[in-house]
Structures are given as C-alpha cells and as structure tokens.
Structure 1
Amino acid sequence: MPWSIPYQFLKFVNIETSSMISIQSLHEQVESRVKLKDLFRSREFAVTELGAVIVEPYVLKAGPFFDNSDVALLHQMKQLVHDNINQFVGICFDRRTEFYTVWNHCFRGTLTDLIFLNPIINRADKLKSDNKDGSTFPENFKRAFVRDIIRGLEFLHASTIGYHGSLTPSQCLIDSRWILKLSGFGLSKLLYKWNVKGSIGAKNRMWLIQNSDLHYYSPEMRRLLKNMSKGTATFDTKQAQAADIYAFGIILYEIVFHKKLITLDNNRCETENANADSLSIFCESIESLIPSYPSIPGNIEVHPDLLKLMHKCWSGMIDQRPDATLVRKITDATLKISGSLVDQMIKNLEEYTNNLEQLVKERTSQLEKTQQHAERLLLELLPKSVADELKISRRVDPKNYKSATVMYSDIVGFTSLCSDSSPMEVVTLLSGVFQKFDMIISKHQCYKVETIGDAYMVASGVPTINRHDHVRDIASVAIMMRDFLFEYTIPHRPGQKLHCRWGFSTGPVFAGVVGLNAPRYCIFGQTVTLAAKMENTSLSDKIQITLQSYQLLTARYPEFKCSPRGGVRIDGIGTLLTYWLDNREELLASNGSVIGSDR
C-alpha cells in the first residue's frame, strides 16, 4: 500500500523551539519569521526522506477499517498530479493512540496566513494612489490565487475522486513559486465516517471541523453532517461538488474584500460544552453565529459579473450553483490575468523600485519627527547647551557662576489635599499647574531644574550667563505664577483655590551634570539652600526674597515693588533680613487690577 506510511518514516520537528519557517516578501527582500505553530494551526511539521511534510494529527481510538472503496480512494488520491493540487503523501496508523494524514509541505504557508496574518507581500501597493480600499494585499495576487483555486477545484471535480470535501483557506497552500495548491481533498468523507464510528477523534479535544472553518461549509452540508453524526445520512459526489462551489464563493468573498466573513474562536464551544458528544463532527451550538447570507461591503468596487458569481455560489438551491468549469470561465473573463504570477511580481518589484525614493522620503520624515520628539524630551531634562555637548560625547565640566538666582515654589497644604483626593485627581492637579508654570518660564531666560512632588525649582543665570537679568526674570516668573493661581480653581474641588508660597535668593552657585545613565543638571551652593529656606519660611500667596535679591532687584529694576518683612529665624543659619516681592508696577492699571500679565 503506497499510501501507508510507517511512523518511523516521520521525523517530527519541535515547533516550540528552534523550528521556524520563512515567508519572504518579494518587495522588501527580507524574511519575516513566523512560528510553525501559528502557520499550521492544528497541524504538525515533519521531515521525511522525500522532504518536508505537513502532518494532520488525530486521536486513534480503535483501529480504522478500510473497505474496498476506502483503499481505492486512497490509491486515487496518491496518483493525482496537477499544478494546483498538493501532493498526498499518505496516512500513518501504526501508532496505538495516534493517526496521521500526511501532505507535502508548501514553503509559503496557507492562504489565510498570507491574506489576514502577514499582509506584507506588496508594500508598493500601499504607495499606489489607485489602491482605494487600503488593502495591503495586491490585486494581482488575489487574481492569481482565485485562478489557482478554481483550476484545482475543476481538476478535482473531473477526477475519479470527484470533489474536495473540505475547501477552506487553510487548505489552500502556497509553494515557493507562489503557486496555490489545494490540500486536504478527498479524505473528509473517510474522516467523518471513522469519527462517527468512534475510530478516530480530533486531537486536543477540538472538533473535527474547527469553528474558524465552519462558515465555509454550506448550510445543507452542515445539516447533512449533523445527521451523519447520528448515523442517519451520507453525501454523494453531486452534493459534495455543490458544497465545494459554496466554499469557493465564501473564499472569493474574503479574497476580494480582504475581510473574513466571521471570526469564531476555536476553543469557545469546548469551554461551553465540556461534555459535548465526541461523535459530533463540529460544534453545533456555534452554528447559530454564522450569517445566513453574506453581506456585500459597499465601499469597494467589484466587477458586477464577479458579484453575480458570488451570489450564484451561495444559492440555497444546489442545482442553481454553477459548476467548476463555468466558474473558471467567469473568473478568467472578469479577472483577466495576464502572464504568470512571477511576471506580475517582477512588475510589482519595478513599481516598488520607482516608489523607493518616496518611501525613503517618508521614512526620513518619520525619523526626523522622532528625533525632534526625543530632542524635546532631552531638553526637559537638561539645558540646551549642556544637551548639545552630551550629544557629541563631549564632557561637561562643573562650573562656578558668580551670580545667579534660584527660586522654589511649594503648594500650601498639599499633604492634606492629597489625603482627601484620589491619586488620579492629584496627578491631574499637578499636571495642570506645572504645565502652566512651564509655559511661563519658557517666556523668560529661566531653566526648570526639577520638580519633586509639589515642589518646583527654577533657576536663571545658569548655564547661560545673563549678567543681572536673572533676578528680573525670576521675579517676573514668580509674580506671573502667583497671578495665575489667583484665578485657578482646583479641578476636582470647584470653587476652591490653590495656594502656593515662593522664595528665591541671588548669589554664586556651582552647577554640573550628575550621573551617566540618567544625567541630571544640578545646582549646588549656599544660594540654593537660602532659596529653599525662603520658600519654606514664606507665607501663603507670598514671595519671600533675600537681602541680596532685594538689593539687586530694586537697584536695577525699580518697577518691582518690595516691602520689608524683617528678621526671620533660619535654622542652621541664624536671623536674616528678608523682603516680600509685592508686584511689578507696570502690570497695575489705575483701578488696581492686573493687566498685561500671562494668566
């Protein structure tokens, strides 16, 4: 028996580890690695002396009995040769608990994988302006695959076997030359018979027909299979051929519209029906989810004759469905395929080459946008001058600055506010306030050093030296922040205002980059300490400044109005004379209202 294969003849490959298969995109000229587990679904992969094969496993419950018609069918399947028919290698049943059907392996996987899982064949089609439906699956591939399916089906219907019996996209395999071959033909009747008799069963508790393939079976075939599981029916060649035409109509729909008719979970029925009848060929409860008649999308233009053909294939009367020869003539006339698929692929490659310049331009633009985004993020962490030095791998040495101004701000009652608010409300509050603060300092020569919780630290005069302007910029920023909060309302507490206190100091500082993996620009010195103390000892809605800041500010910028606070006890330092920064004169109108400020 040439169709009988000893188990020792099969060398199985472990698809969970090193075994991979390549699907090569002609246009990209790269390999996309796809695990065999995903590519072959319930199938397994093996190597024989004759080459690679696909193995479809079943549970062997009792030794299958082959009558004369079964043996004749297997001989006929073994002898079939056609460009669009996948070679049947044989069956293996010499294991006690396992039964295998073995088919030739096709390098590029299944039609399902190429259309729905890995639409990478034609990148050039995405660049063509006439690609109205946005599909990444090229029209020439669609036409060629439709032609190959119906040619294979026509050959089967004219052969001694007479039908396919289980035509689905997962049974349409693509070889290394991009030729589609029909696999899994002829065996369905034997498998159904043995399943009903209890000789075999689906492996891993799955049904013989998976849920994801059920909608390719015609309604009358599903009814017949339900009766067959009860031992009350069988099907003849005419019924099987009509069911093949129905399945072709569904596959044609999915190829043309690049859309699955319905997606069903293969494990759903197993979960809901743990005690399902093991003799059932498919999950009957899932059948109600399948549309009684496919709906045609209205956003894609399709040849009218092709639409009529689909409707004829879906006819509820099997006598009204066209035969395979008529289907081939209609598809050849409407699809008008010229040349081989390889010729068409070469043409696509030329089109892709012509569009390569545009593709490179688009990618370059995307790269520039990404670089600009990264640049903005970097400038949030480091001053521009420092970031520019680090980007070219230059060392940024620490530096002393004779005069700079450092300011701290802090939210009054933040701890109690957090205890009565949700984390999301706190984050929303700080984000809104600090975004406005960032906008204010962006209009001045200031640098946001850091934010820790509700604390906000700003400096001016580092790393860019701006003589005496740093005290003016910090004073302006503090006043604008305060004016903003006068009108700001806490988002999750309508009617409640947010209060802050500010403090800044002027003097020498020491600054530099700290850290390698996550570098930060840090400022040190007595001036920083005094600024923190000024904020800490300030009052709600008040801006407290040191004597040095007051003297420089009033001497050079008299528009800023200050008032003495008096001596303030500072821990670790002693008593210091401090001042309140009240306002900026030109921002006050005659009626006392604030105008011209950034609110």
Structure 2
Amino acid sequence: MVMVYFKHGELHEIHSVKPNSLSSKKQMADIDSEPLNASTKFVDDVKAKMRQPPYNCTDCNDIDPATSQIGELADGMLLYAIALNRTLASGILNPTGDHVAHFAQGSFEGFTGTVTINQNFTRQPTFLVYGLDSNDQQIVLMKITEQLNNTDTSLPTSVIWSHHGGSPPLNRPVCDYDGSACPPSFAETYLAITLIAIFVPIAIVIVALVLFLRYRRLKEERLNELWKIPFNSLLKSNTKNTALSSRSLRSTATTSTRKTIDSKKDTHRHFFYVLGEDPVAARLHTARPVLTKADCAVIRKMKSTEHDNLCEFVGLSTDGPDFLSVWKYCSRGSLKDVIEKGTMQMDWFFKYSLIRDICEAIHFLHHSSFGAHGWLSSKSCLIDERWKIKVTFFGLDAIKRKEVREQRDYLWLAPEHIRDPLSEPTKMGDIYSFAIICSEVLTKKSAWDLENQNYDIDELIYKLKRGGRSPIRPSLNTEEDQNSSIFVLVKDCWSEEPEQRPSCDQVKSFIKDLNDKKKIQARMKELTEEKKKSDILLYRMLPKQVAEKLKLGQSVEPEVFECATLFFSDVVSFTTLASRCTPLQVIGILNDLYTLFDATIEEHDVYKVETIGDGYLCASGLPQRNGNEHAKEIAEMSFELLKGIKEFRIPHLPNEKVQIRIGIHTGSVVTGVVGITMPRYCLFGDTVNTASRMESNGKPGRIHISTDTMKFLTEVIGGYKTEPRGEVIVKGKGVVETHWLLTPEEQQQSNS
C-alpha cells in the first residue's frame, strides 16, 4: 500500500511536481515481511545442489519457483529439530506431538531471519516500514514485531516524518479547506503592542535628536558669547570718565603693563585698550561682514586655539562704531617695528630663533583647519616680552575676504595674488611671504628697503605683477657672517612659480637641519680658530711655505737665494749687565727687548730667523723674494731699532742704558730645514758669516755694513748715505773695507 501526503495549499500543484522533487514531498509505507537477505547464501547453495547428483537438474530453465519457499522449509525442519532436542533434554523418552509443540515456543535465528513461535504455536511475523531519502534511496523507517506480550514500535515519529517537519500532517487544514477558518495573524492579535514597539523608539530618537540639537545650539551660543566683546568693555588706560575710576583702573593692571600700554600710540589700523585686567590690541576692519554659522565655528576654534607662536585671539567687537578684532597685547610690538628701529643687536642665533618661530606658526596653520594665513607679513608677526614671535590675524576668512589691502601690504603678497587680488589665500603664497620676512630679518632692513632704492612702491608693485624670467626680489646683501644655506632657502621660497616653492614641511625640516649644521659650523669655527692660533705659532717658528709642506708630510728641499740681506745684532756688554741681574731678571730683559724687536719687524718685510742669547738674526729677501727691496727693508728696520732702543729701560736698573751693535751684509744664501723632531729653518753660506763679522766688529749704536750692502743701498736703491770706515781685519776674510750706514739723525748732525 502506498500513501502520498502533501502540505496544505499544494494539492492543486500535483500536476507540476517534477519526478526528481517528489522525494522532498512524499513518504511511502511499504508493509512486507522481512526480506530474505539473511538466507540469500543458503538459497544460492540449494540452487547449486539441485544441479548436482542425485537431482542432476542441469537443464532446468527456471528453478526459482522450486526454491522460492526453501527458506521457510529449512526453518520448519530446523524448528522441529530444536523442539525435539528440547523435549528429549527435558527427560521425556517418548515425546508426543503436544510435547514437541510445547517446546517449540521461543525464538531462534533461522535462514529467513529471526523465527519466533508464539503461544498459539504460530510464527510471529515481522513488518518493515520503508521510505525514500532525499536521493530517492530506500530506507527502513520502522520495524514492527508482535512479541509474546505486546506490540513494540522501534522508531520515533520524528524519524518517520522527518520530511514533514518531524510530525505527521494534519487531518484537516488549519484554515479549513475553503480558507475560512484561518486564525488571526500576529499583527492583528498584537496590533497595539506592535504600534507601540515601532513608534515609541522613533519618538525617543526624535526627542533625543531635538534635545541634542538644542543643547548644541545653546552651547554654541554660550561659546559665541565668549568671543563677543562689548565695545564699552574696551577701556583706554588713561580714561577717567568711565565706569571704572582711574584709581580702580590703575589697580587692575601691573606697573609694567601700564607703562607699556601707555607708551603705545594708536595708529589708523591698530588701537590699544585694557579689557578687564589685561591689555589688548585691537585691529580695525573696514568691512562689517555678516557672520554665518560656519564663520562662528571658525571663530570659536580660534578662541580655543593655543600655540606658542600664535597670538592669542581674544574676540570680536561688533557692537561699537568700529568692527574690531581683539588680540592679546605683545609689549615689544611687531617685527617690522623692531627692525625699523635698528637699535636691537641681532646675532645669528637671535635671527634663527625669529625665523624658526615664524616657520612653526605657519606649519601649525597649514596643518590645521585654518589653512593658509593670506596676510602674513612682518606687521602680523608680534614679539612678546620674551622675544618670542606671535603671529596674529590668522583665521577670520570672512573678514579677510571683505578687507581692503593697503598699498604697503602688497610688499609681502605673492605675485600670483597681486595679479589676482580676489583669489583665495594659498599655502604657497604664505611661503613667499615668509621669504620676504626672512629677508628683513637677515638684512635687518625693512621689506624691500625702499628707503635706499631708486624706485617707489608703485613701480615695485608693477614689476612684481609683471614677473618674468628674472623677477625683482629684495637684496640679501649683509655685512655679517651668516650661514649661506639660509639664503638658498629664502631664494627657493620666493620663486616666481608657486610649484617651485618648498612646502612648509620642507622648510621646517630645512631650518631644523640648519640649526644642527650651525652647531657643527660653530664647533668647526672654534676648531678653525684654534688651528689659526697653532698656525700663527708655527709660522713664527718656520716660514709659512715651509710649514705648509711639513704639515703635508712633504720634504723641504734646500733653496738658493741669489741676493738677500742679513741682519745681526747683539747687546753691548751683555755679560756685564747679566752679572748684575738674577736669571729671571735676565730673561725678563731679553723678553722685553725682543718684544720691541719683534714689533718693529712686523712693520717690515723681514723674517726673523733666530735668537741666540743676546744675538738676533733676521733676513729680508728670504724665504719670500722681494726683488731689490731686501736691503732697504733691513736698513729701515735698523733705523727704527736704534731709535727704539734709546727709550728702552730696565725696570730694576732704570739708569742703565742698553746699546746694540748692528751688522749687515748682502749676498747669496742657501736655506734649508734641519731636524725632524724639532725642525729649524737655517741659513747657510759665506753671507751669514760675513754679516756676523760685521756685527762683531761694529761699534755700539752704529750700523756696520759691508761694501756689497753699501753699493746696493747707494747705487741700486739710492737715497741712503754711508761713511767709509776703512779697512778692517775680518776673521776668515783678512783685510776688508767696510762702511757705516748713517741714520737720519746722523745725517742731520753731519750736515750741520
């Protein structure tokens, strides 16, 4: 028997159901005896035996009918055998049919499955309920057996009706067969609850939104009151007929504030007031813009903005005769004022600090909601009492759009904005203005230094507007030693093309690196100064060109000078003088004396070779050749030494006069450096010996010269007078004719 069930409402669709989808909508119950799967092998064995002797049924075409009941026959024979064995086992020797039937009750596994004999001596049947799964494969849903006591169902209903939600279908549709008995829907049953659940949250959201908007509006109004400044609250420090008496006004401000605010004079654009207890500066605006909600939001943002390099915004005064923006007072005025006064000493570190502060302010503005400044100039860079830059007049775009620029304001305006005054402010325009301010700081002159130019401001603005490949720019000439990198930065910042100007981030990074480089340069400068000192000391010991070669590790080859003039001198009776002094006093005398000599040498082209005790050797014409000037330089130096020695006094022997002998000779000399650990620049040749003999054979206070020197001074150079001394016996030379070189004083005495 086959039964097919459908859900309510689908009966009329039976003709359109596809065969493959039937399994999802039907359930089949097939009642049959348990299959002979257990006796399949036994049946196959019987069929094989029938084809064997003694049956020999090899030509039987169809033996299935013969074997169709072979399982039941075998189970019957097996049942009889089991019952008989049980009867005999019970002790009955001659069992009857009743005895065997009695012992046949029970169960055993037969060839056709489990065989159960009930109390009626009949076999109890087993029923299997089959169904189809989702793949239309047969499955056993239920196994029903009638046991000796009752009937048992082995599978639950949920398994049998798994394709129908786990429960059997209704015997009558919910809405009846004509749909008139349908129960009310959830919405119909719970209409009031549904409406409340929908509209109450919506009402709550609407009320919350209204309250939030009202709270925000009240908050904005409250914050707007913070930047709205009544005009009558702005008081002059010297006002008497006001709500506050002059006494109370003076009591609210400090003495320093009162002095600075009193010293400030109002201009056509800026006014100075006292607001409460604080001095403030007010900027006059020519236009009265209508402030929108967005503008008010910007102003509130300005009021809450704090930055080390931005001037504190106090608020706006809109109810008075003038439209004023009020800012915190900076006692030192604007950067423009400080530069134009010219009284401030500005070293590199101070200039760097000002430039860095301006850059920090621009960097903050460019990375905030305020954006570009648009009106950046040295006038908008204020300086507080700590000499820190405070940039003012930022934000306020609604006011700036209506503001009319003065002619001098164009000195800081980028060329692209001069050509299009109505264009919106740009960050690249601020970078150009920053460069102009830097030029003022570096040169310590006003913007463009118009006072010292051959053009006026009208012509300058015309040239800026015209532009070109080589546009006009401020001069960066300065007499001070400054880092050249800053000038490169300034020139990049005022490039004619905005795209070629660096961004504020790049400028800030460059200035930061510039400070590091400046520290390195300062250290290098110190090292250079120390090196200079070392070089000066080295050059006093060795000629400069010789010292340079030795520093490079090069060898100094001996050099021949064809013509040079050597100078020898010693102190007359120095041994006797030294015997009257202590060793420290002797050293002091020689130090003072040679200091006088060294100072005299510095004024002439003469090289000091060495000093040995009281002996002093110097030369001209070497190591640096000077043509024929060597004899003249030595002669002039000798005159000054003799003149200076007359005024030389010994501190502990004030009445003792010091005299020197001088010997000079001109000739060829060979020079060279001797030694490695302590190298010395030495002179070699007969000229050295002859000059030494001129000194040793001379007289106190006289200049003894050789014939070669005499001819050089009188014939080659001219202008000098000599006096023959006669023949002198010179060691190693024999008899030599020498001369006296007359000093200017000696020449006057001889003429008189």
Per the normalisation by structure 2, the TM-score is: 0.31
Per the normalisation by structure 1, the TM-score is: 0.38
